[in-house]
Amino acid sequence: MQDLKLFSGNANVALARSVAAYLDIEIGSAEVGTFSDGECAIEIGENVRGLDCFALQSTCAPQNTHLMELLIMVDALKRASARRITAVIPYYGYARQDRKVRPRVPITAKLCADLIQTAGADRLLCMDLHSGQIQGFFNIPVDNLYSTRLMLDAIERRIGSDVTVVSPDAGGTERARAYAKRLGANLAIIDKRREVANVAEVMNIIGDVQGQTCIIVDDMVDTAGTLCEAARSLIDEGATAVHAAITHPVLSGPALKRIAESPLDQVIVADTIPLRPDAVDMGKLHVVSIAAPIGEAIRRINNEESVSSLF
């Protein structure tokens, strides 16, 4: 690896350490804290002039704080004459605000893209963007990795391949079809209608789930309303067991309570967002690490090798 430096904000230090271990390097020296008035205070603690720098930071809750940490860290690296700066954002916050769903609302995912570029990032590395079109918000190279291989390995190891893959809505059909194809499994789709934000009403199931072990796949779980209603509907339609494989464990509001009280046997998630202690203790969540694909992508970018085979 040529002149590579990995820095981390406060959002996901454990993942940064795992990525550094994969690369067999130390995390770069940086002070990431706050001033007495609450403003972000960041200082790079070593020389980065002419180096290939990677700033790892998920923009998860508290989103605004973590986004500002990332922007200020990128700016600090730029002003310290880093040769190239890659923003490594395993979970891209504000991704669901990627279009105007009604008049007089912003497209915040595009605003975040503009901020990241203005701060000085030369490229972006992320995982399972909520919508692939977000890559078009950037005028710099974007590598969007997928957790599919990791999730499939976990599914086969913990559940087996004799399952029916379920998309919780029509929008996730492409993802569910990819899982079903790799597993040689049947596919089902849940038709739902969302009347208000964070409240989902499951309508009907397209596909046969009678007597099946079902695995719901999605890119993120937020308040878990959709997920838990989907699980109940599958059980009502005769499924014998319901599991889930979901990349980003946002788990806001009543999510943990809903999952605990739902018929879900387990929820496999990635470590793009660190779990709260109560989430770890609940017993239904199983975490798979994305350190290897993120670390390998960083290695290839640093060596000017192709990253596409990781997709």
CATH number of the domain at 283, please.
Answer: 3.40.50.2020
User: Is there a single domain that holds both residue 71 and residue 127?
Assistant: yes
Together in a domain, 111 and 179: no
Q: State which of 145, 167, 187 marks the end of a domain.
A: 145
Same domain flag for 204 and 132: no
In a domain, 225, yes or no: yes
Q: How many domains does the chain have?
A: 2
Same domain for 141 and 264? no
197's CB contacts (< 8 A; 6+ apart) are none
Percent share of the chain, pLDDT over 90: 90
Residues 180 and 130 grouped into a single domain: no
Residues 101 and 25 placed together within one structural domain of the fold: yes
The reply to whether 104 and 183 lie within a common domain is no
Domain assignment of residue 155, given as a range: 148-288
User: Is residue 31, in this structure, part of any structural domain at all?
Assistant: yes
Name the pairing type of β-strands 30-34 and 40-44.
antiparallel
**Residues 137, 158: one domain?**
no
Last residue of a domain, which of 127, 145, 163? 145
| Nearest-angstrom CA–CA distance, 88 and 126 | 6
Q: Is the pTM of this model over 0.75?
A: yes
Cβ atoms 236, 262 nearer than 8 A: no
**Among 99, 116, 145, residue at a domain's last position:** 145
Same domain, 89 and 171: no
Residues 128 and 231 in one domain: no
Tell me: do 154 and 66 sit in the same domain: no
pLDDT tens readout for residues 240-283: 999 999 999 999 999 999 999 999 999 999 999 999 999 988 89
Residue 296 lies in a domain: no
Q: Within a domain: residue 309?
A: no
Asked whether residue 257 is assigned to any structural domain, the reply reads yes
Residue positions annotated with a catalytic role? 192
Residue 200 has pLDDT above 80, yes or no: no
For strand 40-44 and strand 123-127, is the pairing parallel, antiparallel, or unpaired?
unpaired
Mean pLDDT of 290-301: 98
**Model pLDDT for residues 113-151, shown as the tens digit of each residue:** 999 999 999 999 999 999 999 999 999 999 999 999 999
The answer to whether residue 240 sits within a structural domain is yes
Alpha helices (runs of H) in 59-204, residue ranges in sequence order: 63-79, 108-119, 148-158, 173-183
Q: How confident is the model at residue 41 (pLDDT cuts 50, 70, 90)?
A: very high
